A and B are shown apart, each in its own frame.
Chain A
C-alpha cells in the first residue's frame, strides 16, 4: 500500500478534558502498520476517549494525532476514509434488520443499491448472520450484534479498525468468534487498535500493549514484557486458622523470596510470584511447619495486579527487583 514506511497511528501529547476531569492526559502512541495494538486499562482510564479522538468523533484539547500522516482534526475527512469505528455500545441501528444495516452503510460508502445489497449479503454470510438477515437487530444476541457491528465496519476494508471493548459482555464462545474475526482482519492487512479491560484479551490479540490509567500511558511493551514485569502470577493461600497467618507469611516469604501480602480476608495471603519453580517448595514448607490450608492456588496475573504493580501502590513497593527484562516505561 506504499504506506508501510509511516506508522499507522502516531499520537503525541494528546489531551482531552471534560470539565475538571482530564480524561486523556498527555498520551503518546506509535502504532505500526499491520498489527494489533492494545490499549489496556480499567473503566474510565481514557481508552475510549482516545479511540474516539483518533476516529474523529471527539476533538482533542491539546496534542496531535495522525493517521498515516493525516491530522485527525485538520484532515478529518481524509482520516474518515481510512478508519472504521466499532463502538463499545453497538454502532448499529436496532430498529432495522441486519441486512438493512449493512445496505445502509454500503450505500453511504458509495455502493449503488444493487451492489450494496450484494455486499451486505456477502458480509452476512461471512459473519454467519445469514439466518438473521431479515430480523430487527434488537432481537440479536450480544455476539450477533458485535459481529454485525464489525461487518458494518469492514464494508470497505479500512486501513485502521478501532475496536472499542469488542468483547465486553460477551459469552466465551462469542468472544472467541470475535477474536478469530480480528485475527482474520489483521491477516488481511488491516491495522487494529483494540481497547480492552482484559489482560487476557490483549495478551491473545495484541502485539504491543499500552497500559492506560487516569488518562496516562503508564507502561508500554509486548505482552510478555508486561507480564514479566509483574511476575508470573499470583499465589493465593487461604489458611484454616487465621491465627497462623503471621507465621505462614514468614514461611512463604522465605520459600518464595518475595514479599507476601495479607489479603482482606483474615485467612488469606497473596504473593506475586516471579519464579514458579519456588511455588512447590513453598507448599511443602507450609505443610511441614504445620500450617493447615484450605486453598493454595497459582493464577495468571490479572489486570488488577498489573495495575497495582504499575501504579506503584505501597503494597507492591518491595516487589521484584528492577532487573526484570525491560518493560519500557512510557516517556
Chain B
C-alpha cells in the first residue's frame, strides 16, 4: 500500500529542498534585545492579522470617556466640560491599567499552543518571549492613550501642562501599566483557562480603579473609604498624572508611582520567571 506513491510535486521540490538544506550557514545567536524585539514584532503582526483585538483598546476607552463625562459632569463639577478637566487624566489611567489584563489573557492563550514549544526548544534568551509580548502591549497602550486623549481634547479637555505635560503623564501611566502587567503575566503561567484569569483580573482591577480618586474627590467619602483611596497606588498614579498634565508636577507623587512600579516588577518579575521556567 505504501509502495504506491500518489503523484506529488516532489521531484521539483526535492531539488530545491536539497539546496535549501545544504545552506548550513549558522549566524551567531540572537542577543537578548534582538530576540525581544522579534517577539514584539510578532505581537504587532497579531494585531495586524487579528484587528478585532483593537476593539478592547479603542471602544472601551471611548465609551468610558463619553459615559462618565456626561453622566457625572453636571452633578460633580457643574458641567461636563469642567468635570472633564478633572476626569481626563484619571480616565486615561483607568483605560490603560484595565487593558493590562489582556497581556495576561493573550499570553495564557499563547502558552497553550504548539508554537510555544518551538520557542522553548530554541536556543533563545528565555525571558525574551515575555518581554516581546510586553513590547507589543506598549503599542496597545499607545493606541488606547491616543483614543482617550483625542476624544477628551475634542470634548474640551484643555490641559495647562501643554504637550510636554500630557506626554509626560502618558509615559508615567504606561510605565505603571507595564509594571502592573507582570501581575497578570505571572497569573497567566498557572491559570487553567483564559476565563478564570479574566475573572481574577477584573476582581482585582475593578475595586482598585473605582475605589480611587479617578472619578470623585476622596474628601467627599466616608473616612474609612478615604483612607483606602489614599493608599491605593492607582490614586497615586492619578494624582501624579493630573499634576503633570495640569502643569503642576509633584516630585513626591511621581516618586511614589516610580517606587510602586519598581516594587511591582521586583516582586512579580522573578515570580513570573520562576513559574515560566517550570512550565512543561
From B279, which residue of chain A is reached at the shortest CB distance? A57
Contact among A57, A81, A125, A187 for B280, CB-based, below 8 A: A57
Q: How many of chain A's residues touch chain B, expressed as a range?
A: 35 or more
**Residues of chain B lying within 8 A (CB to CB) of residue A59:** 280
Distance in angstroms from A5 CB to nearest chain B CB is: 21
Q: CA of A90 to CA of B117 in the docked complex: distance in angstroms? A: 10
The reply to whether the CB of B114 lies closer than 8 angstroms to some CB of chain A is yes
**Residues of chain A lying within 8 A (CB to CB) of residue B50:** 95
Number of A-B pairs, beta carbon distance below 8 Å: 142
Q: CA of A136 to CA of B50 in the docked complex: distance in angstroms? A: 10
Contact among A80, A112, A125 for B122, CB-based, below 8 A: A80
Q: CA of A56 to CA of B277 in the docked complex: distance in angstroms? A: 11
Taking a contact as CB atoms under 8 Å apart, the answer to whether A156 and B26 are in contact is yes
Q: CA of A107 to CA of B34 in the docked complex: distance in angstroms? A: 8
Taking a contact as CB atoms under 8 Å apart, the answer to whether B2 and A200 are in contact is yes
The reply to whether the CB of A330 lies closer than 8 angstroms to some CB of chain B is no
Taking a contact as CB atoms under 8 Å apart, the answer to whether A173 and B29 are in contact is no
The reply to whether the CB of B46 lies closer than 8 angstroms to some CB of chain A is yes
The reply to whether the CB of B30 lies closer than 8 angstroms to some CB of chain A is yes
Contact among B21, B30, B45, B46 for A157, CB-based, below 8 A: B21
Taking a contact as CB atoms under 8 Å apart, the answer to whether A57 and B121 are in contact is yes
**Residues of chain B lying within 8 A (CB to CB) of residue A95:** 45-46, 49-50
From A198, which residue of chain B is reached at the shortest CB distance? B2
**Residues of chain A lying within 8 A (CB to CB) of residue B16:** 122, 125-126
Residues from 1 to 32 in B contacting A, C-beta threshold 8 Å: 1-2, 5-10, 12-14, 16-30
Taking a contact as CB atoms under 8 Å apart, the answer to whether B17 and A57 are in contact is no
Taking a contact as CB atoms under 8 Å apart, the answer to whether A185 and B118 are in contact is no
Residues from 96 to 122 in A contacting B, C-beta threshold 8 Å: 96-97, 100, 104-105, 107-112, 115, 119, 122
**Residues of chain A lying within 8 A (CB to CB) of residue B17:** 126-127, 181, 184
Contacts A80-B123, A87-B117, A122-B20 supplied; 14 other A-B pairs, CB < 8 Å? A55-B121, A77-B123, A87-B114, A91-B118, A107-B30, A107-B41, A108-B30, A108-B124, A109-B124, A115-B27, A173-B7, A177-B10, A180-B13, A188-B18
Interface of B with A (CB < 8 Å)?
1-2, 5-10, 12-14, 16-30, 34-35, 38, 41-42, 45-46, 49-50, 113-115, 117-124, 280
